[in-house]
Amino acid sequence: MNKQEQTKQLISQVLENCDFEQKIEFINSIREFIHKYSPFKNEPVDFVKWVKSENVVANDYNPNKVAPPEMELLEISIMNDGYTQPVVTFSNGDKIEVVDGFHRTRVSKESKIVRQRVYGYTPTVIIRKEQENKNDRIASTIRHNRARGKHQIDAMSEIILELKNRNWKNERIARELGMDEEEILRLCQITGLQDIFKDDDFSKSWESSDSISNYEELTDDLTNEEVEHYRTVNTNDPDRIFHTFDKWECHKAGFYASKKEGMKAEECENAYAKFLSNYDEFKKGLQGVLDNWINSCEHYLTNKAMNRIAWLGQAAMCYSTGIPSKFCSGFNLLNNEEQEKANQIALNYLNIWMKKYNRNEVTMEEALSIGRQVNIY
C-alpha cells in the first residue's frame, strides 16, 4: 500500500469514529492543511469551508438587493443544482461576515429543503488576508456585484461617500471598484453632499476650486442648462423630477443616518420587520410619506431606474419610527408571504401617487425595476 492509500485509510478511520459536528470540523481542518501546501493556495476557492449558517451574518454596507422572483429562482437553482458557488466571507470574531453571497446565505437559512440537505451549514471561502480591511472588503463586495451587473444606485452613492470619508482618493475608488471617473462623479452628485467633491481628480468634467469653502451648495434655483448638467441617473426621461438633497424631506428625517439613537442594529432590523408586517401601521406610514414628503416622492418615485418599492418601504419606516434605511435588511426577516404582501401594499400606494399626479400606473416588475436598477451607468 502506497503512502496516499495509507493516508486515505487513516482519514477514513478517523471519520468513522467522529460524530457529525466532529466530522465537519475534521474535514475542514484537513482541507485547510492541504490548502497550505496547494499550488493554488493564493486562490480563496481552493479552500471551501462549511460553517454553521447561524454564524454567517450580513455586512452593513452592501447595496445589492434581490427582488422576490429572483430570490425564488435562486432557491430553485440551489435546490436543483446544489451549491456551485461558496459564499465569500471575512472572519469577524465568532461571526463570519459576508463579503459576497448574502442571498445564497439566506437560502441556506430560510429554505427548509436546502437547510435540511446541508444540515444547517453554508459553504464559504475566506477573503485574502490583505483584503480584510473594511475599505478593501467594501471594494471587493462591489466588484463582485458589478461583475454580475447588480447594484442599486442610491446605496452605491452612500458607499462612495463612506470611502471618501475614509480618505480614499477618487483615482483609487475608480481603480478598486472598476469604475471610471464620470461614474463616480454622477454617484457623487446623487448624494448632493459637497464634501465628496473635495478632490481635484474630476477636472476634466468641471473645474474645481482650490478650497472646498468656495463651492456653492446646489439648490433648486437653477437654469435649465444647469439642471441638465447636474442631473443624475435616468435623467434623459422627460418625466423625471429632480431635487437636490437639501430639499429631500427624507434626508432631514434621518433616512440616510447610520444609526438610531438608543437602539442597536438588531433591534432596528427587528422593528423594521415588525413594522412591515403590521399592515395597518405600514399603510399609515406610506400615506404619511405621500402626504408630507412631497419633494422626496417627486425625486424618487419618478426615477424609473430604481427600486421604488424598496424606497417606499424604507421611507414609511423612517417616517413612522425614525429608523434609517440602513436597517432595511429587516425585510429579510419576513417570510415570503409577508414580503409579497408588503411589496403589494407599497405598489398600491405607489400607484395612488402616480394617479394623483396624472402618471401611468406601474406593474410590480416596473416598480422593482428588475433588470434596470443596476445597469444604468
pLDDT tens digits, residue range 126-158?
886 665 665 665 666 555 554 444 445 455 666
User: In the prediction, which pLDDT does 182 show?
Assistant: 63
40 alpha carbon, distance to own chain's centre: 30
User: In the prediction, which pLDDT does 269 show?
Assistant: 92
Q: How far apart are CA 15 and CA 121, in angstroms?
A: 18
Q: Which amino acid is at 208?
A: S
Q: CATH code for 15-130? A: 3.90.1530.10
Better-scored residue on pLDDT, 91 or 356: 356
- The kind and range of the H/E element at 141 are helix 134-147
The pLDDT mean for the chain works out to 76
- The kind and range of the H/E element at 336 are helix 336-356
- Cell 396624472 appears where? 358
Phi, psi of 49, deg, nearest 5: -115, 130
Portion of the chain with pLDDT greater than 90, in percent: 32
Task: Give the range with max mean pLDDT: 4-18, 92-106, 297-311, 312-326.
Answer: 312-326
Better-scored residue on pLDDT, 64 or 271: 271
Provide the terminal-to-terminal Cα distance of the chain, rounded to the nearest Å: 61
In 3-state terms, the chain is what percent helix, strand and coil (to 5)? Answer: 60, 5, 35
Q: How far apart are CA 146 and CA 64, in angstroms?
A: 9
For the record, the C-alpha cell of 46 comes out as 481552493
Residues 267-297 have pLDDT tens digits of: 999 999 999 999 999 999 999 999 999 999 9
What number is the average pLDDT over the span 4-13?
88
pLDDT band at 319 (very low <50, low <70, confident <90, very high): very high
Nearest by Cα to 215 from 228, 225, 230, 234? 230
- The kind and range of the H/E element at 364 are helix 364-368
Q: How far apart are CA 298 and CA 315, in angstroms?
A: 13
User: Is 0.75 surpassed by the pTM of this model?
Assistant: no
Query: Is the pLDDT confidence value at 215 over 80?
Result: no
Domain ranges of the chain: 15-130, 152-209, 233-377
Out of 76-85, 143-152, 335-344, 356-365, which region has the weakest mean confidence (pLDDT)? 143-152
Indicate the pairing of strand 49-52 with strand 121-126: antiparallel
- The kind and range of the H/E element at 24 are helix 20-37
Better-scored residue on pLDDT, 213 or 117: 117
- The kind and range of the H/E element at 121 are strand 121-126
